[in-house]
Amino acid sequence: MSAEGTAVIELRSLTKRYGRSVGVDGLDLDIGAGEVFGLLGPNGAGKTTTLRCLVGLLKPSAGAVRILGLDPVADHRRVSPSIGYLPGELRLYPELTGRQTLDLLANLQGAPAPRQAELCTRLGLSRADLDKTVGAYSRGMKQKLGLVQALQHRPALTVLDEPTEGLDPLVQEVFFELLAEETAAGRTVLLSSHVLPEVQRACGRVAIIRGGRLVAVQSVAALRRARARRIRLVLADGPGARPLGAAERWSPRWDGSRVELLVPPDDVVAAVRELLAALPVDDLTVEEAGLDEAFLDLYRTGEEPPAGPGSGVGPEVRS
């Protein structure tokens, strides 16, 4: 939950079965006002199922979903104006124009669309584009239209399934600006994505699901802080791997006269000291290792069958 303690999304033991197959299994999660929250997981993990339950398109088999304290299925009419949803596979009526589509969807949302024109301009949908039928749209144009309809009524919660699919890099930049504005205004965004750099950039917290179960909830800032440092050395006396004594614990990788080690942040000073004592060093650099590796570790966390839905990494893991 946010610092203010406002739960915009509450999932309690959310379970959705499709006949015998399980979509999601006992998910517990709280997401607060002003969060951009990322839902990650491998193919078939249950991300889309979770999102569809959140927006009231699927009825849970067991457990509960609350959006702003309301049940998105039973209280659909009341909660609908507060939700924006971009599905992963956007199906639009090909014979309607872009503008007609946006107006139709605003009607279904049950809310006026004060941001429609602004969002079209910022995402690069011109008047001429909006007068064309959607059947004549490119994939990226359809995705832009999908984003406009998801945000046009300024919903308290926007749920986005793979939002940057098909968007060119310039439009992606606009998308990130829009997300930052949502957070600044205290609105909440939940997005699912396979694009790790996008999640790193946009999200404050992430949840990893696998096999329908929550395996980890982690803040991106904590991942960043915990990320390893890469120490690179060039030897002054030419090529040749050699034993590094205590520094062997960081598994040095040799390449001619270069050696590289991945070291936890708290060990950097000790490692540099030991390396300088052990080797004739011509050059030394220390840099942060990529966040991707930390994310991939989170993915791997779920590879072993968890003891329970909450077993996994770090103090923020939920059960």
Judged by the rule CB under 6 A, the positions of this chain that interact with ligand ATP are 18, 21, 23, 41, 43-49
By beta-carbon proximity to ligand ATP, the closer residue of 12 and 17 is 17
Strand arrangement of the beta sheet that strand 62-67 belongs to: 21-32, 7-18, 62-67
CB 163 → ligand ATP: shortest distance, Å?
Answer: 13
CB 231 → ligand ATP: shortest distance, Å?
Answer: 36
Distance (Å, rounded) from C-alpha 223 to C-alpha 231?
19
Query: Is the distance from CB of 50 to CB of 217 less than 8 angstroms?
Result: no
Query: Is the distance from CB of 207 to CB of 37 less than 8 angstroms?
Result: yes
Strand pairing class (205-210; 188-192): unpaired
Q: How many residues does the chain have?
A: 319
By beta-carbon proximity to ligand ATP, the closer residue of 23 and 98 is 23
Neighbours of 138 (CB within 10 A): 10
CB 21 → ligand ATP: shortest distance, Å?
Answer: 5
Residues 6+ apart with CB under 8 A from 266: none
The DSSP element (H or E) to which 219 belongs, if any, is: strand 213-219
CB 39 → ligand ATP: shortest distance, Å?
Answer: 8
CB 158 → ligand ATP: shortest distance, Å?
Answer: 18
Query: CB-hemisphere CA count at 13 Å for 85?
Result: 23
Scanning the structure block, which residue is given the tokens 């909006």? 130
Measured over the CA atoms of residue 43, residue 290, residue 1 and residue 306, the dihedral's sign is positive
Residues 6+ apart with CB under 8 A from 107: none
Residues 6+ apart with CB under 8 A from 92: 101, 134, 142, 145
By beta-carbon proximity to ligand ATP, the closer residue of 129 and 198 is 198
CB 179 → ligand ATP: shortest distance, Å?
Answer: 20
